[in-house]
Amino acid sequence: MLLADRLTADQILLDVEVSDKWELIKIMSVAIMTSPKLEKEHLPSRKVIYQEVVKREKERSTGTQSGLAIPHARIKNLNGSGLCLARPKQPVIFDEREGRPASLVWLLIFPMEAPAFFIKMTNRILALHRDDDLRFLLLTATSKSDILDALQHARVSEEAPVTAREIMRPAELDIRVGTPMHEVTRQMLEHGLDSTGVMDENDVLVGEITCDRLFRYGMPHFFSQLKSVSFVREYDPFEKYFERETEFTAGDIMSTDFSVLHEDATLLEIVFTLSIKHRKRVFIVHPDGTRAGVIDRLVLMDRIINI
């Protein structure tokens, strides 16, 4: 099924005048009730839909930094799923702390027992908004038919698997092989990271620096065989590191044993790498080996589990 098949003109609201996100959600909660893929039997009232969406929104804002918001709710005993698109006349603030006001808002409701639907739909919507031409049309179209035609033409299928491209977030740091280690550690601390990728002069990912690797640098290898070092009182684990700190670069400390996946890697591949292979993060790369983004366990918690 295509994403556009879930919409009719009744679920597209253009230039809606509202005072805040709560008013917009209330209007959308009415429009979504006539979604073509919602079974009318046992359909909850618009009040219930509104309350569930508001409850989820109050837990954590669904606004993004790209001017998009995807308020949603998992509703018990819902038959089918609903979708609604709104373009407020003036951008609406969804998160006062982060991101910018939302110019496009998608409302999703789906059964409590079907979280996979939300994961796929959200990633399909995000994919649409990465298309500059389509996003511009959604922001400027003067008729609902133009939007429906554009969405049909985009041929965004719900059946396509969720991939790394849709889950990853941008990498935080720009660390090169020659970056001094005091600068690497400063940036890692500043961004709250316990690991970071290292790139060569061609932007190709060639290594990874972890806090574990830093901490182990000055530790004798045989320590790894011990169950405890409580009997060692005078040894300074960082002495060896500080002896060479001023001359160390990222290339001296980095490990070449790190996990890489391409942008089209599936969700299963990502979870396998993080859990079964016990990696803290996996780097996502373009076909030429340059870094595209990163996925760690918190990213999965945020974008997959905590919906």
- CATH code, domain with 197: 3.10.580.10
Report if residue 238 sits inside a domain.
yes
pLDDT value of position 156: 63
Report the SS3 class of residue 210: strand
- Whether residue 152 is found in the same domain as residue 197: no
- Between the CA of residue 177 and those of 115, 181, 259, what are the distances in Å? 42, 10, 18
Report if residue 171 sits inside a domain.
no
Residue 158 has pLDDT above 70, yes or no: no
- Whether residue 15 is found in the same domain as residue 118: yes
Residue 302 has pLDDT above 70, yes or no: yes
- Whether residue 37 is found in the same domain as residue 131: yes
Total domains present in the chain: 2
Report if residue 187 sits inside a domain.
yes
Residue 178 has pLDDT above 90, yes or no: yes
Q: Which residue has the higher pLDDT, 142 or 214?
A: 142
Q: Which residue has the higher pLDDT, 230 or 80?
A: 80
- Whether residue 148 is found in the same domain as residue 230: no
Q: Which two tokens stand for residue 26?
A: 């209330």
- Whether residue 18 is found in the same domain as residue 107: yes
Confidence band of 43 (pLDDT split at 50, 70, 90): confident
- Whether residue 12 is found in the same domain as residue 137: yes
- Whether residue 190 is found in the same domain as residue 119: no
For residue 297, which phi and psi values (nearest 5 degrees)?
-65, -35
How much is the pTM? Answer: 0.69
Contact 131, 156 (CB under 8 A): no
Report if residue 167 sits inside a domain.
no
Q: Which two tokens stand for residue 253?
A: 């400390």
Residue 152 has pLDDT above 90, yes or no: no
For residue 32, which phi and psi values (nearest 5 degrees)?
-70, -15
- Whether residue 77 is found in the same domain as residue 197: no
- Whether residue 205 is found in the same domain as residue 248: yes
Which domain does 133 fall in, by range?
Answer: 3-158
- Least confident among 124-133, 140-149, 291-300: 124-133
Q: Tell me which of 107, 123, 158 is where a domain ends.
A: 158
- Whether residue 286 is found in the same domain as residue 210: yes
Report if residue 164 sits inside a domain.
no
Element (DSSP H or E) covering residue 107: strand 104-111
Residue 107 has pLDDT above 70, yes or no: yes
Report the chain's mean pLDDT, rounded to a whole number: 86
Tell me which residue of 122, 10, 33, 129 sits closest to 81, measured CA to CA.
Answer: 33
- Between the CA of residue 211 and those of 33, 229, 236, 243, what are the distances in Å? 51, 20, 17, 18
Report if residue 278 sits inside a domain.
yes
Q: Tell me which of 158, 189, 204 is where a domain ends.
A: 158
Residue 98 has pLDDT above 70, yes or no: no
